[in-house]
Structure 1
């Protein structure tokens, strides 16, 4: 029976790896060591601490000689700056650097909110400063209240631009945002049961929602500040708001939202609308299914729907849509660690194909890649390493247009049946994934061209992180224990061993080479072998899973 009961045993390495991979983008041996022996409840609790960002705001190092610098805090209009596409990418580079320095749930959950309330940073948000504000809004509510976030996102300048709600007015209704709000962002459509009629709402409900949302406009100069978040927000043009009553269908119990004609009254209309949508049990279930798919597994049985999704949805309702009670319950449960059954055909650990974002984040954190410092070396971090290599080359080649999904529905891995996360791994994306480790080891962009201004030192990784590096069998098994969800068997160990010990040669060939390096600090021989070994182990099927 699928169970949300807390895991009764302390975390071993296998379970600690599972939790850390699923809950953060910062995956290190040191953090794993600290989790082993902890209870799941305490380990998850340690991930819920609110942490400040390492970087307070993004920095544009261009143009050289007179950089735009901290343009997001400039008093100039956001659209007055050149290089908007680069700046939008830099804003996501700011987010990623903070994610890489956060041992907690905040950035994992802020990206979850991005998959729920999608905007495409390069396809309609507008100036780069608006995507920066949007990401800050995701972070503000990452450990907070989904329902409140669902109100605030409506006044987000980037969202107002992206889904055209700034063009929605009483005389010329634009239903784009209202439609996506119901169909994709909150309650979801459900099965179609008639012309213009779905399980969870009808076309009439979309029309009424658009009227509620009429008159909400983006503010170009960001002069309106939300008192709750202290972030820029849009505004209400009262003259363009439909002040009549809005009556919804039986899908929403025929509720009528009273029309208002003052700014505070129109905000109350928005609040009434959101409360109405979130009062539907299907809204809570929609979010819990998304959380399950994001943190646990893409497919599940009716048993899981009954014993996991449904009680989590009730907990979400009982918590008035606070996200942390649900996430902590799920990540601490027997079910999350696959400890509630003995069925080997439905394993949870190792069941998700890593996203390109997870892949590079794990590599850089586990191997302690010395990323250029964005504070002291902003040109090499923001422009050369992140923008040119990670953003433009690797992530695009690996199938992730970062913070810019092709569709409002988001990345196919999170919604497209039946493949879901399998979308990350295909003939179109495999080259980008496989050349990532080559690029990091060689210190150059093997997907495109140019230096990446850092490199992955396999020798130092082994020296600092692998206790029994002189024994080739233990070397490989200990590396595998860090990199793979499950331990590898002797056949797999022997396969990888042929990379560092030529077939037919005894194990002491490697032992002597390693001991010679330790005594002389001459790494030439071991580096060649370790570069090849790490490349093979990273590009093996086992590393693609988490």
Structure 2
């Protein structure tokens, strides 16, 4: 495999794909040096939204007002603004590795709330800690108003423990379903988290009056444990490192796990005291990452697909909602994971309708085709409420592609540029179909294939 193909694979997994300005870099830079550049360019900066921020006090006053319309409208607008800001960051930032891992953590520690400032807060926790320490990340997420609210821990009191957070902490966030812990451990750890809540301004509080201070037995240990103790006991278990490593491997490398490699990686991760960057180094600096079985082995998530298109094909949006409607139609809307388990992955992204829609979107962006379609009803997301219909049609789809800005790309071998594993039959078919058309049409045709859904 030549250097360019290795770099293309690297930026599709350690980021959101090729950027139209960086083609020469991918051709000339050694993959290990490119990874070091991706890692070194991963400084954290908070998202800048296009809305005037409000203080926690102002937000609290809105939430308590008799007329809820301003509060609800603010939440809708601010959630949309956060979503668009993060989407733009994924497209344009050099901190590709940070944003890619932040997206992973968003699906791993899934929360779904109306409260927009809580959403912004937890997204910043993911972005800030994306390449830091998993231990720090678990503690920050566990004490965030978004997680405490979503999993009802503010209702977890010594007189009547609520097990939601304690269960998901082990089942989904640290150990894996049914791995190492028992129902008794869930009940005991729920008692330890009693009193963990947040105040009117979204600040973490540890209410000692509501805390069960009696002795607890958890994962074979006995003591007067609180929530901090429970998290630390879990993190002492190598099984936690193995579970997290396995999920990251599936996200960054291959949906089909290689248990020998995962065991090796998880041992390194555990010995590093859960340093996420150490794990990234072990993955992206390895030879096996570039093996044939890992090239083109992953189906792009909707966000990866849309962001990747926008990185290779610069465009202006006269109606910014259009792009986010595409993602929603395909089943992945930032800030709106379907449930506490997060989004699906792999082949679960694809069915007959979503594949056809995926293949149509590039031509819609280019103005060659139109869409009139509604998203599937998702009662998990809507929680019984009527969903506003999302219809993308010609009037809404006012996208301008800057073809002049990618004239250099149009002169490239577009098959090798855009596809992970181009085959001769596909190339001939698409080339013949576009024999009397422009390179623009050829590019859109390639992006409209099932093969373009892979990275």
Name the structure 2 match of 1:428.
353
Name the structure 2 match of 1:417.
none
Q: Does 1:116 align with 2:49?
A: no
Deviation at 1:72, TM superposition (A): 4.5
- Kindly tell me: are residues 542 and 443 of structure 1, through their superposed partners in 2, closer, same or farther at Cα, counting changes over 3 Å? closer
Name the structure 2 match of 1:357.
303
Rounded Cα–Cα distance in structure 1 between residues aligned with 2:439 and 2:22:
24
Name the structure 2 match of 1:207.
187
Alignment of 1:136-147 (within 5 A): 136-147=124-135
Deviation at 1:75, TM superposition (A): 4.5
Q: Does 1:411 align with 2:343?
A: yes
Name the structure 2 match of 1:244.
214
Q: Does 1:455 align with 2:392?
A: no
Name the structure 2 match of 1:484.
419
Contact kept? 1:499, 1:532, Cα under 8 Å: no
SS in structure 2 at match of 1:20? helix
Q: Does 1:272 align with 2:205?
A: no
Deviation at 1:36, TM superposition (A): 3.4
> Does 423-432 or 129-138 show the bigger shift?
423-432
Contact kept? 2:44, 2:127, Cα under 8 Å: no
Q: Which residue of 224, 248, 259 corresponds with 1:305?
A: 259
SS in structure 2 at match of 1:496? helix
Unaligned runs of 5+ in 2: 64-70, 373-391
* Structure-1-length-normalised TM-score: 0.73
* Structure-2-length-normalised TM-score: 0.87
Rounded Cα–Cα distance in structure 2 between residues aligned with 1:26 and 1:75:
41
Contact kept? 1:369, 1:455, Cα under 8 Å: yes
Rounded Cα–Cα distance in structure 1 between residues aligned with 2:186 and 2:327:
35
Which whole-Å deviations, capped at 9, do the CAs of 1:37-63 have from their partners, x for residues lacking one? 43433221211125456774322xxxx
Rounded Cα–Cα distance in structure 2 between residues aligned with 1:310 and 1:355:
26
Deviation at 1:488, TM superposition (A): 3.7
Rounded Cα–Cα distance in structure 2 between residues aligned with 1:336 and 1:99:
23
Name the structure 1 match of 2:67.
none
Name the structure 1 match of 2:279.
326
Rounded Cα–Cα distance in structure 2 between residues aligned with 1:212 and 1:168:
10
Rounded Cα–Cα distance in structure 1 between residues aligned with 2:196 and 2:41:
31
Contact kept? 2:16, 2:90, Cα under 8 Å: yes
Q: Which residue of 404, 408, 415 corresponds with 1:464?
A: 408
- Kindly tell me: are residues 217 and 335 of structure 1, through their superposed partners in 2, closer, same or farther at Cα, counting changes over 3 Å? same
Name the structure 2 match of 1:535.
444
Rounded Cα–Cα distance in structure 2 between residues aligned with 1:74 and 1:239:
25
SS in structure 2 at match of 1:486? coil
Name the structure 2 match of 1:163.
151
Determine which structure has more spread, i.e. the larger CA radius of gyration: 1
Q: Does 1:494 align with 2:428?
A: yes
SS in structure 2 at match of 1:105? helix
